[in-house]
Amino acid sequence: MAIAWEPFMAHVQERGEYTTTGEAERVTRAVLSALDAHLLGSERTGLADRLPAQCQLLLLEPLPATKPLSPHEFVEAVALLIKSATPRDRYVHCVPGAVTLLGV
């Protein structure tokens, strides 16, 4: 069962320690956009089923990956999407966002 948008964003904002909901939304979209091409079949639909409808769209319209990403490459892909200024910012934004989204 999918969670509603507002409680989900509040959770992301709290877990990621983002100062605004807008920042939490930006990171969520970046993480899902980088992740979408690397999930297949039931992994993709299973995660999408647990996310708000606004997030489901990012996962259910995939662009196929050309190769698997290492953890470092994943962080770099997210950093490009959120345009982080420093290497530290890349990990500060990407890792909590991904952990929150994946329920780790």
C-alpha distances out from residue 47 to 31, 35, 59, 75, 80, Å: 13, 11, 8, 19, 23
> What's the average model confidence in pLDDT over 67-96?
67
Q: Per 3-state DSSP, what percentage of the chain is helix, strand, and coil (rounded to 5)?
A: 75, 0, 25
32, pLDDT greater than 80: yes
Tens of pLDDT along 36-75?
A: 777 777 877 888 888 898 888 877 776 666 777 787 787 7
81 close to 33: Cβ distance less than 8 angstroms: yes
Mean per-residue pLDDT over the chain, rounded: 75
> What's the average model confidence in pLDDT over 84-98?
57
Would the pTM of this model clear 0.75, i.e. be above it? no
